[in-house]
Amino acid sequence: MKTVLPPLPSDADLRRLVHFSSQDGRIWLAGQRMVLLHASALGSLRRELIQTIGADQTRRLLMRTGYAAGQSDARLAKEVRSQANLFDMFAVGPQLHMLEGAVQVTPEIHEVDTDTGHFLGVYRWDHSWEVETHVRDFGPQEHPVCWMLMGYASGYTTEFFGRPIMFKEMACSACGAPSCRIEGRPLANWPDAEQIKKDYSSSSILSELQDLQKQVEVLRQVQPTQDESGPLLGKSKPFVSAVDLLRKASSTQVSVLLTGETGVGKERFARALHTMSSRADKPFVAINCAALPPDLIESELFGAEKGAYTGATSAREGRFERAHGGTLMLDELGELPLPVQAKLLRVLQDGMVERLGGSQARHVDVRLVAATNVDLNAAVAAGTFRRDLLYRLNVYPIRIPSLRERSQDIEILAQHLLKKFCEKHQRNVAGITDQALDLMRQYDWPGNVRELENLIERGVILTGPDEMISAEKLFPGMPQIDQPGVATTLALNGHLAIKKSEQSTALLDNLMAQNMGIEDLEKQLIKEAVARHKGNLSAAARALGLTRPQLSYRLQKIN
């Protein structure tokens, strides 16, 4: 029969079962020894397993590990809530998963008929530790990655009901879904029941080592996209797509137009394109069109003959001639004056350069890479940019995503920059705290990667030897953002207790003084967040601890 899902029962009975015995270095859950581990440490183990035995074998191994943990907790559930109804008794598993910090569980469907053996369970998962660590190491995925959590759900339910009931992950946030979603049915009801049984059966991995070795050899042949400063770092889908476009263009001679916000790394992309191309042994010349006075840009680009202007005491090559055979990058292209644009168009059409004050045309063989953070179509409409030049340059556009769009890459970049600046300043910093990394993922990054560089360098300088860079060191003066949810702390009696917040008390007093209700507070918070982030709903949602669809739904209700 289908049950109308009540809210999950209080987990106070489970909290009372957790005991920290600091004298002998043990933690107990109802008499069973537990261990607190850093999620990053489990992530490192997961990463090494994948690199050693492959993703498929690691998936099966972690599923079996979770399965065993689920079986243990199912036996505990029947002891702890032996007098409770079936739903509350079963809820021990999801609640322990949350209490242990593994994932947030929300039941959506829970159908049980003990007489017929029917079971259908659908649960939403948020904040999966496996998603966070896997995406951090390997980027967005095509297949679900909550292997240990899914094994736990299958082991727990199978042990609880005394018959094989297996879960499958139907959606995963590592694949771009808003949340993970699992569905459980009796094993016989799954079309691929035999494959599921195989996944949970132990088997030797030796027979697969040869296949894995072949895969490793193939991977070693894949060359990273890089310039002389190293590889372009990132695994998020928008970034990988941009790098893939860059790689495809590298074997051609097509002119490339790089677009994106200030600080996203357009020059790094241009240098990487040059490094990967057949022109790598020739010059790479870059010029920032916005950094030169308008009356000097033409001579800088095309050169000048002696006496062409006051102070021109000798003939001088321009950037096009210096880049002959190689690559010329024109940064801030949208700042070029219209007369220079006309001359640039001619160079692109016939490959001939005429110096300022000269009459002799010179042939140049240059691959042009243009970069801008200006909307060139809008500039054309405003009359500040030539339409024919835009058509000529826009043959192969590559948009480099902002750091806001590639939050999965922030930790990769931060760790790389940490190492770089520790070496530069000869500092020995232990790392970056998880709280600081989480805050960086929430931040909007108006200055993009360039701002991240400055922030990490400041953190390295402010942090003492062998210390971790904290959120306060990265964002001095910024109010601390508390994590959502109710925190717990270790009480003097060795049990977990709800942490009281002075800020919460002050907030309640303020609300009562203004005669403001919860709905009014929610409206004000949402409006303020949207206004503060200038209408960027994704950023406002992150600041409020919501998903973008959740924020959109609340805005519709308000409006």
Which CATH number do you get for residue 279? 3.40.50.300
452 and 416 within one domain? yes
Q: In the numeric block, which tokens belong to residue 388?
A: 């024919």
Q: Pairing relation of β-strands 367-372 and 26-29?
A: unpaired
Q: What is the structure's pLDDT at 526?
A: 86
> Quick count: other Cβ atoms within 10 Å of Cβ 388?
12
Report whether 111 contacts 120 (CB < 8 A): yes
Query: Is 352 domain-assigned?
Result: yes
What pTM, to 2 d.p., does this model score? 0.62
H or E stretch at 19: strand 18-21
Domain boundary among 176, 209, 242: 209
Query: Is 512 domain-assigned?
Result: yes
Q: In the numeric block, which tokens belong to residue 316?
A: 């001088």
81 and 26 within one domain? yes
- 159: CATH: 3.90.1520
Least Cα distance to 476 among 532, 447, 436, 432 occurs for 436
> How many domains does the structure of the chain reveal?
4
CA–chain centroid gap for 44, Å, is 17
Q: What is the structure's pLDDT at 483?
A: 43
Q: What is the structure's pLDDT at 403?
A: 93
Query: Is 495 domain-assigned?
Result: no
208 SS3 class:
helix
449 and 418 within one domain? yes
Residues 322-333 as b/e (b if ≥16 CB within 10 A, e otherwise) read: ebbebbbbbbbb
Domain carrying residue 511: 504-558
Q: Within 13 Å, how many C-alpha atoms sit on residue 45's CB side?
A: 10
Q: What is d(CA 167, CA 185) in angstroms, rounded to the nearest whole number?
A: 7
Residue 136's Cβ-count burial label (10 Å; 0-12, 13-18, 19+) is buried
185 and 45 within one domain? yes
Diameter of the chain by CA atoms?
101
CA distances from 239 to 136, 264, 344, 376, 455 (A): 14, 11, 30, 22, 21
pLDDT in tens, the chain (559 residues): 445 688 888 888 888 888 887 777 888 887 788 888 888 899 999 999 999 888 999 999 999 999 999 998 998 888 888 888 999 999 999 999 898 889 999 999 999 998 898 999 999 999 999 999 998 888 889 999 999 999 999 999 999 999 999 999 999 999 989 999 999 999 999 999 999 998 888 754 544 555 555 555 544 444 456 655 567 888 889 999 999 999 999 999 999 999 999 999 999 999 999 999 999 999 999 999 888 887 788 888 888 887 666 666 678 888 899 999 999 999 999 888 898 888 888 888 888 888 887 778 889 999 999 999 989 999 999 999 999 999 998 899 999 999 999 988 999 999 999 999 999 999 999 889 888 888 888 888 888 999 999 999 999 999 988 888 988 888 876 654 444 444 445 454 555 455 555 456 666 767 777 777 788 888 888 888 888 887 888 778 877 877 777 887 788 887 7
Domain boundary among 166, 181, 209: 209
Query: Is 102 domain-assigned?
Result: yes
57 and 186 within one domain? yes
Q: What is the structure's pLDDT at 151?
A: 95
Domain boundary among 209, 235, 251: 209
- 454: CATH: 1.10.8.60
Q: In the numeric block, which tokens belong to residue 118?
A: 């029917």
Q: What is d(CA 128, CA 205) in angstroms, rounded to the nearest whole number?
A: 27
409 and 393 within one domain? no
295 and 440 within one domain? no
Sequence-ordered strand ranges (E) for 341-432: 352-354, 361-363, 367-372, 396-399, 431-432
> Quick count: other Cβ atoms within 10 Å of Cβ 383?
9
Query: Is 509 domain-assigned?
Result: yes
414 and 524 within one domain? no
470 and 520 within one domain? no
245 and 135 within one domain? no
Beta bridge partner(s), residue 30: none
278 and 392 within one domain? yes
